[in-house]
Structure 1
Amino acid sequence: MAEKLGEYRRKRRPGRTPEPIPEREGTAGSDDLFVIQEHHASSLHWDVRLERDGVLVSWAVPKGLPMSPDLERLAVHTEDHPMDYLTFEGEIPAGEYGGGTMTIWDTGRYETLHFNEHKVEIVFHGKRARGKYLFLNVKKDGNDRGWLLKRLDPADPGRAELPSFLAPMLSKPGRLPSTGEDAEWAYEFDWSGRRTLIRVTGGRITAYDDSGDDVTGLYPEFRGLGEQLGATETFLDGEIVVFDGGKPSAEGLGHRARATKNSAKRLTSRFPAFYLVNDLLHLDGRSCLGTPYVERRDLLDGLGLAGPHWQVPRYYLGDGGAVARAAREHGLAGIVAKRAGSAYHPGRRTGEWLSITGTFVQQVVLGGWRPGGGSRAGTFSSLLLGVPHEDGLRYIGNVGVGFAGDELEELSRRLFRLERKTSPFRSVPDKQARDARWSRPTIVGEVVFGGWTDGGCLRNPRWRGLLPDVTADEVELDG
């Protein structure tokens, strides 16, 4: 035993490392225990250890166990470890051999089919490690440290292989959904970044731009994302953003996008890049493409992704008007609306995702209407809109478009019941007041519009819907 653990002892200093350094030799057991440890050392790898003749025969596997028989992985044979290592987890101090964090990825029993210095064939019976595997000593140049690790049996039933590439789903330009549809939509901020999909396997990332080009080398600061995910196999969708003063910088992003692999490292300090993740397309043998958007986001949140150069910005279910206002207040280009139940369609542009830019949103109080004619006879042609002011409503314009279905009739009935003889506005232009009918200012709605006129009125307003949970005295002028 002393000879078997000799190299292990020589590489470790008692009192400097929390690793077990047993004084006594171990005794042979049943030769059927294993442990796989995720080791965040100078380079992420997984240590596979098999009980054999009183020690743990060990290999370092840089990319972890292959889950498919189509994959082969390098396995570096390392020194035998003591049996106490079966339960070891901890932080090995920097400067010590193997310095870094070590956690147990899986542990359990294995079955031996063949075991010698050239070939090890076993069956794992763990929680995560399951199946038949072959360790094969390739012995190059007399070096017996180089082995290959391969899965021999088929992948687990129902397991979906991690795609080599997925094209991003695209949005269509569109309008902000109505308030009546709000609950069916989720909203994200548009960060004006470069659309980038990241494939993660074996703790390593591959980043693809929206054309499918490999841009991994242009963003060295994202390497830690793969290490944080460890053995998790996943495909992420997001955008790369460079910030300046807390706002997206097109100039900074341009510098990073035009960089070479050599210049990218120099630019990381001047124009640091951030990966904002907003979707999950694949997770540990499961395709998420058909999973509804909000469920994909729940899975994404469950990964706990947060790092110095990556994060998962929150999304907002409903309340698109507030999200659009917040985007404008923070100087963002706009928002993206996604149907809460939408699947992910790689490479397709679909109306289930809407890109909404240049949109102002304003809550309004209805103070009257102009009677309708023709197809709108018996209802209204437009609504007179205002916001509360200390001596009455301040008039900010009329809206006559954007009403869906039976909304015209329903609004008309409500307004007619609230009709009064005098105007609730401080003043209204003569052209609008000439045939106007007035109502008590209690109904609150929301409009989208293209900006403000020099006279302080809404430019090209469009009705979005009623806001039944907002009272008139809560309405304020935005912008």
Structure 2
Amino acid sequence: MKRGSGSPAGRPARSGPPLPGLTPMLATAGVLPAPAEDEQWGYETKWDGVRVLAFLEGGRVHLRSRNDLDITVSYPELEDLGSRLGNGQIVLDGEVVAFGPDGRPSFARLQKRMHVGQAAEAQRLSRTDPARYLIFDLLHLDGSATIGLPYRQRRQLLEGLDLDGASWQCPAYFAGNGAMVLQASQELGLEGVVAKRLASTYRPGRRSPDWRKIKNLRTQEVVVLGWQPGNGRRAGTIGSILVGVPDDGESAANGLRYAGKVGTGFTDAALDALHRQLTPLARPTPALPAPPPRAFTVGAQWVRPELVAEVAFGEWTPDGRLRHPVWRGLRPDKSVSEVRLES
């Protein structure tokens, strides 16, 4: 397995300050490239975290989420990244991840960090549930945009920055041998791999086939439509969450369809937090062009479709519902308009 590496192949000409409104490039769901194309691709681990762009200038760091929210206060352990890289202008792309006791990424643990807007609470959580920034791309360097450079060259420039700190690092990528990289991710219990065409440029805000995500675990982003009251131990609170996906598979703007309900995977704390967030979003009817079967939604409390969540599931049923969905958590880093059906 050949690790992608090499000395920086010259820095780009200066072109002004970091690009305004810069947003992450996105991958499409797919399968490994064909063996005949394998050497044209680089392979990275797919990390189970949240996407973050880091803007560094004058020794300071400014963090933006995938949906362009300022999340700097949420991750105080990354403050020193700015001083580590000096006074230059740099924009990094990566994933913020929290690791569990088993050494694997824990999305449940990261959930504690994603909603925090108070500096004191963020500082406390940085000690009890530390996050780590795993950096995989370089979008701006020394006042120059690098997004027009090939992926292989951007990675060479990124590795030349020698990023390895207490709360950040630049994990390896591998040129070719995609099947071996995917197998290794399966054996390690990781989410999967991302295949990136070595010659591809960075296309901000675009979902491109030049980047492919190949998952070991089936997950789907969903829109929260409402909830049903629980019974027994969950009496008086949420029993299950009713969810939807884009009716055409591509855009929630064209309408949503009912995709089932999720009743497992919650902690008591998550249920309490969800109840507080959903209560002010109440509406009398489902936000769907066609109402779901009443037998599945008795006693439903409908809400405005403003929250995105992620679920793991077994497969799609013939009538388009999620089979055996398990709640993984809300995705405040993603908007309803970004939800797509995973292939």
TM-score by length of 1: 0.42
Match of 1:118 in 2: none
What does residue range 264-343 of structure 1 map to in structure 2 within 5 Å?
A: 264-343=122-201
Distance 2:21 2:71 in 1: 13
Match of 1:243 in 2: 99
Distance 1:294 1:337 in 2: 12
Per the TM alignment, residue 160 of structure 1 is displaced from its structure 2 partner at its CA by 2.5
Deviations 1:340-375 (A, max 9, x none): 00000000001000010138xxxxxxxxxxxxxxxx
Letter in 1 for 2:16: A
What does residue range 419-438 of structure 1 map to in structure 2 within 5 Å?
A: none
Match of 1:233 in 2: 89
CA RMSD between the two structures = 1.5
Percent identical pairs in the alignment equals 44
Letter in 1 for 2:93: D
Letter in 1 for 2:115: R
Query: Are 2:78 and 1:222 equivalent residues in the alignment?
Result: yes
Per the TM alignment, residue 327 of structure 1 is displaced from its structure 2 partner at its CA by 0.5
Letter in 1 for 2:91: F
Deviations 1:75-112 (A, max 9, x none): xxxxxxxxxxxxxxxxxxxxxxxxxxxxxxxxxxxxxx
Distance 1:228 1:165 in 2: 25
Distance 2:165 2:180 in 1: 28
Distance 1:180 1:270 in 2: 47
Which of the numbers 257, 263, 267 marks the counterpart of 2:114?
A: 257
Deviations 1:171-193 (A, max 9, x none): 00011112111100000000111
Distance 2:83 2:14 in 1: 27
Aligned residue for 2:136, secondary structure, equals strand
Deviations 1:323-352 (A, max 9, x none): 000101111111000000000000000100
What does residue range 54-203 of structure 1 map to in structure 2 within 5 Å?
A: 158-203=14-59
Letter in 2 for 1:163: L
Per the TM alignment, residue 259 of structure 1 is displaced from its structure 2 partner at its CA by 1.9
Per the TM alignment, residue 301 of structure 1 is displaced from its structure 2 partner at its CA by 0.4
What does residue range 350-429 of structure 1 map to in structure 2 within 5 Å?
A: 350-358=208-216
Per the TM alignment, residue 165 of structure 1 is displaced from its structure 2 partner at its CA by 3.5
Distance 2:128 2:17 in 1: 38
Query: Are 2:204 and 1:204 equivalent residues in the alignment?
Result: no
Distance 1:291 1:200 in 2: 20
Greater RCO structure (CA 8 Å; 6+ sep): 2
Q: Which structure 1 residue ranges, 5 or more long, are not aligned?
A: 1-156, 360-449, 451-479
Aligned residue for 1:278, secondary structure, equals strand
Distance 1:297 1:221 in 2: 24
Letter in 2 for 1:251: A
Distance 2:207 2:214 in 1: 14
Distance 1:277 1:349 in 2: 19
Distance 2:23 2:107 in 1: 23
Per the TM alignment, residue 227 of structure 1 is displaced from its structure 2 partner at its CA by 0.7
TM-score by length of 2: 0.58
Which structure shows the higher helix fraction?
2
Moved over 4 A (4+): none
Which structure shows the higher strand fraction?
1
Which of the numbers 339, 342, 348 marks the counterpart of 2:206?
A: 348
Per the TM alignment, residue 158 of structure 1 is displaced from its structure 2 partner at its CA by 4.8
Letter in 2 for 1:250: F
Aligned residue for 1:338, secondary structure, equals strand
Distance 1:355 1:299 in 2: 23
What is the number of residues matched between the two proteins? 204
